[in-house]
């Protein structure tokens, strides 16, 4: 355990070469993933097949030797476990039955009942805990309440999270009841992942940037704080990474206020600024633009070196500023890792 570089960085150690993993590192840019997904039949069947989900989680570890593997799942499995209908439309993404009224929130399943649906995910974690190389850290994850709520309210992804903002502004009681239900379920879900063998967990708030002012504090920072406090009470030695994507200046102090062990940074956050204002509070993760995984070349090499240098004065986990895209070239991933490690 002491040799795992991710855990050393999360404990506050500054390493000469930062450990590296990549958001969505198991995915559509890899031919072996496409083959396994075809074997599964569809995306949700892949998520709920422990053997195949473990296989796609392991594929980028075998190919690239990342320092961490992140569980293959989806943030919308929690809404489904709570009772929302979930399906995926090819080429368009997820669809859910909408939750916009208080009686619909009240009709959701209890948080104790979510494990009936999510048990296959925990089995995937158990398989990975056995099969990953001894030096590779296993990361579990969940979507943060605000981000998950935006999908549950709109029934799909939206460019500006408008339906969720409308419900928040027009029927705050229903909105907050939904957020509370998601928060409780997320605590139970991540705790179960830890019990199954996850060594680190990450909270993805992909749409945190559409919140501002008191809304950011109330619906991004406070739920993260509540989830982290509950998890640390149960699992005090398990580090937690928070990702309030698009937080801008609200990144400052986020780790201290939520007690997160690391804050992940999006690619729009200047690395030198973050080193001064965010890394002073502990480990940071990020933040190469995913576009470099498509374009590659000298620009990729230069940017990897620049980010590494910017964060060299403190604990840092190298990563992208968001997930790798399906049009990425695996050779550029290998070039990123080679550049960082040499």
Query: Which one from 8, 24, 181, 245 is the annotated catalytic residue?
Result: 24
Dihedral angle over CA of 228, 234, 237, 241, nearest 10: -20
Active site residue 245: no
Query: Which one from 8, 48, 67, 74 is the annotated catalytic residue?
Result: 74
Could you give the CA distance from residue 310 to residue 147 in angstroms, rounded to a whole number?
30
Active site residue 37: yes
Q: Are 335 and 300 in contact (CB under 8 A)?
A: yes
Active site residue 28: yes
Query: Which one from 28, 63, 95, 109 is the annotated catalytic residue?
Result: 28
Please report the sign of the dihedral spanned by the C-alpha atoms of residue 322, residue 148, residue 33, residue 38. Answer: negative
- Contacts of residue 155, defined as CB under 8 A and 6 or more positions apart, other chains included, come to 95, 96, 97, 98
Distances in whole angstroms, Cα of residue 180 to Cα of each of 97, 144, 168, 223, 333: 19, 11, 13, 8, 38
Of 328, 239, 216, nearest in space to 285 by CA: 239
Could you give the CA distance from residue 202 to residue 260 in angstroms, rounded to a whole number?
10
Query: Which one from 29, 33, 151, 189 is the annotated catalytic residue?
Result: 151
Q: How far is CA 334 from the centre of its chain?
A: 22
Q: How far is CA 21 from the centre of its chain?
A: 12
- Per DSSP, the residues of 115-169 read HHHHHHHHHHHHHHHHHS-TTPEEEEEEE-HHHHHHHHHHSS--SS-HHHHHHHH
Eight-state DSSP code of residue 199: S
Eight-state DSSP code of residue 90: T
Q: Are 294 and 327 in contact (CB under 8 A)?
A: yes
Q: Are 147 and 204 in contact (CB under 8 A)?
A: yes
| Other Cβ atoms within 10 Å of 146 Cβ, number | 29
Active site residues: 24, 28, 37, 74, 151
């Amino acid at each position: 355990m002491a040799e795992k570089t991710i855990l050393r960085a999360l404990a506050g150690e500054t390493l000469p070469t930062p450990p590296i993993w990549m958001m969505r590192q198991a995915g559509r840019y890899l031919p072996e993933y496409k083959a396994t997904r075809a074997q599964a039949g569809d995306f949700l069947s892949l998520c709920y097949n422990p053997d195949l989900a473990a296989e796609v989680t392991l594929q980028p570890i075998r190919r690239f030797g990342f320092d961490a593997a992140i569980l293959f799942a989806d943030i919308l499995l929690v809404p489904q476990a709570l009772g929302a209908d979930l399906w995926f439309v090819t080429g368009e993404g997820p669809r859910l039955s909408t939750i916009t009224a208080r009686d619909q929130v009240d009709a959701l399943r209890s948080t104790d009942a979510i494990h009936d649906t999510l048990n296959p995910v925990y089995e995937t974690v158990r398989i990975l805990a056995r099969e990953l190389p001894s030096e590779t850290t296993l990361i579990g994850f969940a979507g943060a309440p605000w981000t998950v709520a935006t999908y549950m309210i709109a029934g799909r992804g939206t460019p500006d999270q408008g339906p969720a903002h409308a419900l928040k502004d027009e029927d705050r009681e229903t909105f907050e009841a939904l957020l509370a239900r998601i928060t409780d379920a997320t605590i139970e879900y991540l705790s179960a992942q830890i019990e199954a063998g996850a060594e680190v967990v990450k909270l993805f708030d992909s749409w945190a940037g559409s919140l501002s002012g008191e809304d950011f504090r109330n619906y991004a920072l406070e739920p993260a704080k509540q989830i982290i406090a509950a998890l640390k009470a149960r699992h005090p030695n398990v580090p937690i990474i928070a990702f309030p994507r698009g937080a801008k200046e609200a990144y400052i102090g986020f780790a201290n206020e939520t007690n997160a062990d690391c804050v992940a940074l999006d690619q729009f956050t200047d690395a030198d600024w973050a080193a001064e204002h965010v890394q002073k509070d502990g480990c940071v993760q990020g933040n190469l633009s995913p576009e470099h995984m498509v374009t590659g070349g000298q620009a990729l090499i230069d940017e990897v070196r620049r980010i590494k240098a910017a964060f060299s004065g403190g604990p840092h986990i190298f990563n992208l500023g968001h997930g790798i895209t399906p049009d990425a070239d695996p050779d550029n991933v290998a070039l990123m890792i080679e550049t960082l490690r040499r």
